[in-house]
Structure formats: C-alpha cells, structure tokens
Structure 1
Amino acid sequence: MSKIPPQNGRVAPIRTIREQIAGRLRADILSGALPRGSKLREQELAERFGVSRGPIRDVLMQLGQHGLVVSEPNCGSRVSDAPAEWMQPLVVKVRREIEIRALRRSIRRLDEADLKRLETIVDELGEVCREGDMSRIGELDLAFHECLLECAGEPDLLDVWRPIVTRMILHYSRLLEMEQIHAEHYAIFEAVRDRDLSRAIAALEQNIQ
C-alpha cells in the first residue's frame, strides 16, 4: 500500500490510512485545491491514494458528517457549497453562541496539558501564516477552536459545531489576512491562559465574523 507523504516536510501525528486520506482531502477542500461542487469519485480517489474503495467510502461519509462533502443517491459525492450569503449572519451567530458556551465551561477546567496544546497550535499557525500555506491555515484554525470545544467536555456540542464551522470556512475570505489570523487566535489563547472569560469572549467574537 502506498503511503501519503507528509505536507511541507512535517510529520503529522496520524495513526491510520483513513485519517491520512481524510486529512489530505480536508486540506484540499479548505484550500480550494478541490473547488466547491467538485465531483469526488471513489475509484479515482482510491487510485490516487493507493487503497480500495472501502476506505474512500468511509472517508467521504466522515467528511459529509463534517459538512465538507455532500452525497446524493445516484449522483455520488461532491464538495459542499458555501452557505448562501443570506445565511452568513445566522451561521456566525450560531457558531459564536456554541463557542462562547464552550468557553464558559472550559476556561476554569483547562489544565497545563490543554494550554500547551493550544499554544502549540497557535505557534504553528503563526509559522504557516508567515509561509502563506493556505491549507494548513485552515486546518490549524479548525484545530484551535476544536480544542476549545473538546475541553468543554460536551461531545454533543462538538457534533453540532463541526458542520457549521467547516461550511463557514468554505466561505472564509479572511484567510487572506495572514498576520491578522494569527493575531486573533493568539489573543484568544492569551485570554484563556489568563482565565479572563470576558476578554476571551471578546477576542473570540472578533475572530468569528
């Protein structure tokens, strides 16, 4: 079985071939390498990654649960479209409410390991922003916010959040503002590290627009 090479020379902490494929397809979608509406054919993807169609089918199902892929009977799978313009304010509002709720629950529960994980993500985000690596920016943006959600200890909240935030990033033109992206996430991290809930909420709202 062929192995997928690490991106940009980094060795990612990946355990299974399915996770590798899901990570690569997620990066391709978020960076625009796979444009919105692109057909995702199981056989072509199986040949690309050197696997059978079974793992590809599982990955497409997973990405569908996260809002990045749409599968329709007799039509196959395709990359999701971004939410319609009129839906953007609603999506932003719902995402803010979910993440603020998570912050209220997690900010006093974070231990040193949690803070180190957040800091590591922010540091790498700064590095890839300087490099202009669009796909990694999207991945690390998601990873940072997902870490905050996980620390809240509410799996159901995380399940509601994932499809909202991934669809939102499909429409995220602010990714072009590289330095600002890192600065906004670092401001959230600093406030969380200092256990300053009001400052953390303000920084979060600045970031989610």
Structure 2
Amino acid sequence: MSGLGLRRVPSLSRREHVAEILREAITSGRLKPGDRLVELDLAAELGTSRAPVREALRQLEQEGLIASYPYRGSEVLGVSQDEVEQVLVPIRITLERFAFGKALEKLTDADLTALQGMVDDMLVAASAGEAEQLVDLDIRFHELVITRSEQRHCLQMWKTIQPRVRAYFRRDAPAHADPADVARQHQELLDVLRGGDRDAVLDAVERHIHIHLTPGSPDVG
C-alpha cells in the first residue's frame, strides 16, 4: 500500500492513536470506500507494531467504518443512501429530539455563545472551501447540545453513531450548491433554541435532520 501521509504514532495508548488516525483518514475521505487496510503495511507506515493496528481495526469495525474478512484483511466501508435513510436519520431524529428537548432548559448563555461561534466559523469555513472543517463544526454543534442534555445514554448512543454520521456528512459535502447553507441551517436551529419553545425546537430538529432523506441535498444536517 502506498504512503497515505499519515502522522506517526506516539508511544502512549497506541491502539487509540492508531484508531484515531485511521478514523480521521476514513471520515475525511483520504481513505475511500473499497480501500484495503493491511496490518503489516499500516504498522510500517505508522511506526508501530501490528498488535495495536489489529486492535484499532477491530475497534473501527465495531464503529461500522470498515469490514474485515478472513485471509483478505480489512476494507473501508462506504455510507449508502439506504443506510442514511433507514438507519442513521431515524436514529438521529429520535435521539436528538429527546436530547435537544432535555438540553433546552440547561443551555447557558455561554453555551449559546459557543454555538453561535460555531455557526460563524461555519461561514468562514464555507467561504474558504474547507469542507472537513465545516463537517467538524457541524458535528461539534450537535454534540455540544447533546452533552448539555445530561442524558448519558444519549451521549453514548451519539458517540456510537458519530463516525458514521461524520462519514455521510463528508460524503455529501461535494453536493452542496452553496456550502454556506450549512451555516444558515444551523443558524435557524440556534435561533429556535434561543426562543425556548420546546415544541418548536423538536419540530426544528426533525426538519433539520430530515434534509438527508433527499440524496444530493444541498444542506448538511
């Protein structure tokens, strides 16, 4: 396997570092669906032994980012529109409606300021054509609100699906007619959060996420 330009692994927590490096390469699109991941090649490029690479690949398989086959190694998985429509979007709607509703009374002025900062940064990233930064800000926006819900099971579920959500955000990034629409969608959601009307928030969350039921939608959720 040719060099992927991956950074070398520090000595501490090698499995976690290997998983983080490969996860970022997959969700950013540098490793594409169908690319093979060979333990020996990865260990050599990352400057580590095969054991942490093997453990990291198992972790990424559990996250749904790769598939492993006997005697064939591992392969990067794509995100199909069926998975988005039938699995990820329904899970997100249920999880985020509940979490946003719980977070509504717990969000502080500092939280709302932080969310506004993310939206402002989305506009900057969109203007600069920084798709990966835009995706990262999108993920961080939703994760902050889910965290403020103080519902541990919701946050745990979010962290389980987040790599797949990030992957489909990244997959859809080239389809945006205007990347600034991502910021505008989040500004609308933030404005509803500021309004404090729970029913309006729940409706806004569902509309926001439902965008991805349309392939090639111009807006990220």
Same fold (TM over 0.5): yes
Q: 1:31 aligns with which of 13, 19, 28?
A: 28
Q: Give the Cα–Cα distance (whole angstroms) in 1 for the partners of residues 52 and 144 of structure 2.
A: 26
1:179-199 deviation per Cα after TM superposition (whole angstroms, max 9, x unaligned): 111111222223223433334
Where do residues 4-19 of structure 1 align in structure 2 (5 Å cutoff)?
4=7
Q: Is residue 96 from structure 1 mapped to residue 97 from structure 2 by the alignment?
A: no
1:198 maps to what in 2? 199
Unpaired runs of at least 5, structure 1: 6-14
Residue-pair matches, total: 198
Judging changes above 3 Å, is the alpha-carbon distance between structure 1 residues 57 and 90 closer, same or farther for their aligned structure 2 residues?
closer
Letter in 2 for 1:200: V
1:44 aligned partner: 41
Aligned CA distance change for structure 1 residues 60 and 90 (closer, same or farther; 3 Å): closer
* Percent identical residues: 29
- Check conservation: 1:66, 1:162, Cα contact below 8 A: no
2:117 matched residue in structure 1: 120
Alpha-carbon distance, 1:90 to partner: 4.5
Aligned to 1:8: none
- Pairing 1:134–2:135 present: no
What's the TM-score, normalizing by structure 1?
0.74
Q: Point out where structure 2 has 5 or more consecutive residues left out of the alignment.
A: 1-5, 213-221
Please report the TM-score for the alignment, with normalisation by the length of structure 2: 0.70
Contact 1:42 1:53 in 2 (8 A): yes
1:186 alignment counterpart: 187
Q: CA RMSD in A?
A: 3.2
Residues 91, 56 of structure 1: alpha-carbon distance in 2 compared, 3 angstrom cutoff: same
C-alpha deviation, 1:84, in angstroms: 5.5
Aligned CA distance change for structure 1 residues 162 and 71 (closer, same or farther; 3 Å): farther
